[in-house]
Structure 1
Amino acid sequence: MTADALDQDSVIKSKCLPTYLVFDISGSMKPHEALLNDTLEFLYNVLVENPRVSEFAQVSIISFSTAAQVVVEMTDIQDLRALPQFSCGGSTNYSAAFAAVQQRIDQDVPALNAGGKGVLRPAVFMMTDGVPTDPGWEAAFQNLVAKSWRRHPHVISYGFGEARPDVLAKIATKGAFIAEKNTESKTAITEAVTSMLRTLVASAKAEQLQLPTEVEGFTTIPLEYMD
């Protein structure tokens, strides 16, 4: 049993990686709303066409603005019959996003384990185009990644637009990337999601989290916090 295995007994189980794709849908993302919805459909199509990936990387999608919402619960992607739509507006409440992810992890990990899965440490991929508008978001992030919480996840952040490197570094434990100045927002969104998908494909093949070292159109940010 590896150190990253969670809530398992001694029986050998098929490994799975609880994966949370967290998207900023605040007001500044309104011009990109159609692209975000197209991206959601693209994610779905890729996962449906790659059952090995969707079986290993159990995916949940969470959006956040003033509040956070579970857009797609962690379930077999093959069973999903309809895709919800993103609707952008509101502020950029990081605390709501971190709290929602933590709550879902506490529900999803036991459920996956009960379903016969060998659950690896969760992975959170967060994409944002701005800075947090809520005071106290640092504490919410520290609660999410606290070593004292057995299920604390790995966190990878992607930023573009008005996102700041120092903030992206603070909300990541494994990798942080910011779009280069000449990268358009449309391209940044597409490349960030492509990076997430490539990471999931590589992770499914290796049966463990495999992080990208580079992302097209992005600069890698040195991390302030490492798990």
Structure 2
Amino acid sequence: MTAPTAAKCLPTYLVVDTSTSMAEHQDLLNGLVDHLVDAIGNSPRVAEFAHMSIITFNTAPHLVLPMSDIERVDRLPDITCRGATNYGAMFRLLKVRIDADIQELRDSAGRAVLRPAVFILTDGEPTDQAWSTDFGDLTDQQWRRRPHVISFGFGAANPTVLGKIATKAAFLAESAATEQEAIMTMITSLLKSLVASASAAEFTIPTKVDGYERVPIEYVD
């Protein structure tokens, strides 16, 4: 059992849509993810509190970065964009990884693990049909390790779907924002959220994100 005095840890998952429609933003995504990792690594307080994993998804999900102490990450593999926008397999992978990551953080690292945080960035609607069942499994109230989920959408993202794949907050880029600005703002918001969470020693999210409008959370049947 983890001792009550163990240091708190927030397992954080950045989940990025890398379907074909994101191809024009591939270089930007790689640059911003590198910047995010560098920024966390250069902030010892945040790096100590928030361990991070990066998952991309298109036709299949891909574990780009296993759950890591960011201060120990030297290099990230390149993100590539192609294929469809399948949500279901991504939610299934998230559940498997959360189970494994929490166990590792508790048993090997000796950390007091907070409920995980998942930040999803997408520019379109899912191309698979049964994803809501997988999302329901991921966020099942009976599963003690269920994550907080925050969704960010831009481009052709459907606000109704964004509301259904979030448990904490859902944001849609306003029409005036360019897609590049929307992506940069989302990464900046994630970083600010982790800084605030590290200061509070608990998960904290912004109530407002510049360039985005907040959309209602909806619950799948």
TM-score tier, shorter chain, comes to over 0.9
Establish whether residue 48 from structure 1 lines up as the match of residue 52 from structure 2: no
Residue aligned with 1:101, SS: helix
Establish whether residue 171 from structure 1 lines up as the match of residue 165 from structure 2: yes
**Cα deviation digits, residues 39-58 of structure 1 (max 9, x gap):** 11111110111121011011
Contact kept, 8 Å, 2:169 with 2:214, in 1: the verdict is yes
Contact kept, 8 Å, 2:3 with 2:112, in 1: the verdict is no
**Cα deviation digits, residues 122-180 of structure 1 (max 9, x gap):** 01000000000011000010000001111000000000000011000000000000000
Structure 2 residue identity aligned to 1:15: K
Residue aligned with 1:176, SS: strand
Q: What does 1:1-227 correspond to in 2, within 5 Å?
A: 9-114=2-107, 115-225=109-219
Please name the residue that 1:5 is paired with. Answer: none
Residue aligned with 2:218, SS: coil
Contact kept, 8 Å, 2:8 with 2:112, in 1: the verdict is yes
RMSD: 1.2
Q: Percent identity?
A: 48
**C-alpha distance in 2, partners of 1:164/1:11?**
42
Shift >6 Å, 4+ stretches: none
> TM-score, normalization: structure 2?
0.96
Number of equivalenced pairs: 219
**C-alpha distance in 1, partners of 2:42/2:4?**
30
Residue aligned with 1:97, SS: helix
**C-alpha distance in 2, partners of 1:186/1:36?**
9
